[in-house]
């Protein structure tokens, strides 16, 4: 039993200003071995990853605001297949954040939430601003319109109810190996996100065969005062794939590089210099030691 591991994607949704970011900070903030992406706006996909242990239960929580886009890295094939479909169905737990004042009359949203496969926790935030009666009223309101798995009342601002919510999330997580390498992430989160961005651009720019047979490793990541200098190696299995990746006079890979760089600059909020190298590594997928080198 001890070596069982829980892992899953937690999707945080809700209207602007209900306290999603504040809640995220509470859920991620005090717990160790965590990463949050540098730019913490809701545009970004992964808001935070928490690795930890609760009563002998090891876990990895992946908080995200648009689940299913960044693919888990362990077991390449499965991850590709499993995480293509977006939306609510990809989350293992959905936190629907509302606040105490909110009048939620978007019926379509409610309907959609009602259909979510994942357990839905309805969070009523900002209870520090409300009376007992107001809180009770809100709870019964939500029971009538949505009847979620559970309703939790919290104050993300002062931390009320956060511990209970955290434990609830872990309880609901499925048994699953970690999606993201624990060490690599805590070590070099920026590299990891940079490599993911390049991978995504490759996925968008080439037909199936290429993206599935290549791997991206950011080998150098030097952050200077006003620029980040990055070197990335893109591994393919055959030289024919290298030729496709390159394109005529290297135009195609150059396009990937430009698109990746622009997104990185937005992500890191800094100018980025990116140099990409394509390397042929036959059957890299089969080679465990190679995978290790890649940080899996
Ligand atoms: P988001 O847009 O959903 O990410 O909301 P934010 O986390 O940015 O919070 C919006 C505003 O609500 C900020 O001014 C927060 O300080 C405030 N806020 C968030 N949680 C609470 C809470 O529990 N109590 C109170 N009083 N204010 C809160
Ligand atoms: Mg926010
Ligand atoms: K699911």
Q: Nearest ligand to the C-alpha of residue 14? A: 1
Query: Does 5-172 match 188-293 in CATH topology?
Result: no
User: Does residue 19's CB lie within 6 angstroms of at least one atom of ligand 1?
Assistant: yes
State mean pLDDT over 68-84: 35
State mean pLDDT over 274-296: 70
pLDDT score of 184? 47
Choice among 5-14, 73-82, 93-102 with the minimum mean pLDDT? 73-82
Distance CA 205, CA 273 (A): 20
Choice among 1-5, 136-140, 204-208, 269-273 with the minimum mean pLDDT? 1-5
Torsion of CA 252, 201, 230, 220, to 10 degrees: -110
The reported pTM is 0.62
Give the mean pLDDT of the chain: 77
**Which ligand 1 atom lies nearest to the CA of residue 14?**
3
Find out whether 144 is annotated in a ligand binding site: no
Which string of b and e fits 211-224 if b means at least 16 CB within 10 Å?
bebbbbbbeebeee
ipTM of the complex: 0.96
- Per the CB < 8 A criterion, the answer to whether 66 and 45 are in contact is yes
Query: Does domain 5-172 correspond to CATH entry 3.60.21.10?
Result: no
Distance CA 170, CA 192 (A): 25
User: Does residue 160's CB lie within 6 angstroms of at least one atom of ligand 1?
Assistant: no
How many angstroms is it from 259 CA to the middle of ligand 1? 34
CATH architecture of the region 188-293: 2-Layer Sandwich (3.30)
Closest residue by Cα to residue 260 from 198, 199, 209, 178: 198
Provide the residue ranges of all domains of the chain, joining segments of one domain with +: 5-172, 188-293
User: Does residue 20's CB lie within 6 angstroms of at least one atom of ligand 1?
Assistant: yes
């Amino acid at each position: 039993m001890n070596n069982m591991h829980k892992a899953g994607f937690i999707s945080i949704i809700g209207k602007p200003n209900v306290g999603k970011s504040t809640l995220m900070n509470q859920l991620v903030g005090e717990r160790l071995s965590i990463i949050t992406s540098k730019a913490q706006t809701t545009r970004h996909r992964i808001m935070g990853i928490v690795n930890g242990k609760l009563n002998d239960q090891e876990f990895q929580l992946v908080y995200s605001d648009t689940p299913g886009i960044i693919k888990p890295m362990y077991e390449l094939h499965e991850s590709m297949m499993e995480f293509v479909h977006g939306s609510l169905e990809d989350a293992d737990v959905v936190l629907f954040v509302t606040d105490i004042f909110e009048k939620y009359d978007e019926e379509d949203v409610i309907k959609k939430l009602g259909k979510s496969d994942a357990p839905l926790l309805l969070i009523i935030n900002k209870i520090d601003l409300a009376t007992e009666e107001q809180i009770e009223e809100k709870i019964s309101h939500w029971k009538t319109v949505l009847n979620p798995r559970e309703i939790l009342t919290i104050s993300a601002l002062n931390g009320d109810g956060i511990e209970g919510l955290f434990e609830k999330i872990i309880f609901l997580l499925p048994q699953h190996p970690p999606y993201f390498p624990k060490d690599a992430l805590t070590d070099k989160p920026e590299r990891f996100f940079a490599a993911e961005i390049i991978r995504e651009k490759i996925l968008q720019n080439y037909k199936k065969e290429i993206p599935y047979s290549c791997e991206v490793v950011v080998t150098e990541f030097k952050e200077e005062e006003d620029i980040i200098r990055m070197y990335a190696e893109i591994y393919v299995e055959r030289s024919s794939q290298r030729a496709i990746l390159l394109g005529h006079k290297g135009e195609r890979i150059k396009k990937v590089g430009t698109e990746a760089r622009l997104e990185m600059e937005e992500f890191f909020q800094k100018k980025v210099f990116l140099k990409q190298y394509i390397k042929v590594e036959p059957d890299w997928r089969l080679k465990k030691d190679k995978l290790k080198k890649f940080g899996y």
